[in-house]
Structure 1
Amino acid sequence: MSEFNAPNSSRPPRPVATPCIQVCTVDGRSGLCLGCLRTLGEIGGWSKLTDEERARIMADLPSRKDRLDPALRF
């Protein structure tokens, strides 16, 4: 197996990336960003969250679309 495919690579795991898609508008009713579906608190604190916290938020994002007015969804 090459070093690039080694399961126990010495490289640190990549952090959970931001879901930002550069559509930064917050829906006043739900408090969610129309682009990434995060709250302002989640957006502002993203860099301080652990990977576990980020992963939890990422897992919750698909269900948040239901909280937006259908006319506002991307």
Structure 2
Amino acid sequence: MSTKDPCISVCKFDDDICLGCGRSKREIKSWKKMDKDEKRSVLAESAMRLVKLKASGRRKKK
């Protein structure tokens, strides 16, 4: 899994979660300081958040 920054420049938040990338504000701020394992963990969690957001109809459509 890539550890590239997942930002897609949407940057709109719902309950502290970015609707573009699925990360929390804390995760976004600390991204550059994280090691690869931490980034992989955040990416996995953010992917699950986005699935939940999409299912509830709150994620911005592409």
Distance, in Å, in 2 between the alignment partners of 1:55 and 1:35 is 17
Structure ranking higher in helix proportion = 2
Partner SS for 1:72: coil
| Superposed CA RMSD | 1.8
Name the structure 1 match of 2:13. Answer: 26
Distance, in Å, in 2 between the alignment partners of 1:31 and 1:73 is 13
Instruction: Choose which of 44, 59, 62 in structure 2 pairs with 1:73.
Output: 59
Name the structure 1 match of 2:29. Answer: 44
Distance, in Å, in 2 between the alignment partners of 1:16 and 1:71 is 27
Mark the runs of 5 or more structure 1 residues left unpaired by the alignment: 1-14
Structure ranking higher in strand proportion = 2
State the Cα deviation string for residues 10-33 of structure 1 (Å, max 9, x = none).
xxxxx7211100000111xx3200
Partner SS for 1:16: coil
Distance, in Å, in 2 between the alignment partners of 1:38 and 1:63 is 10
Distance, in Å, in 2 between the alignment partners of 1:43 and 1:62 is 14
Q: CA deviation at 1:63?
A: 1.3
Q: CA deviation at 1:71?
A: 3.1
TM-score by length of 2: 0.77
Structure whose CA Rg is larger: 1
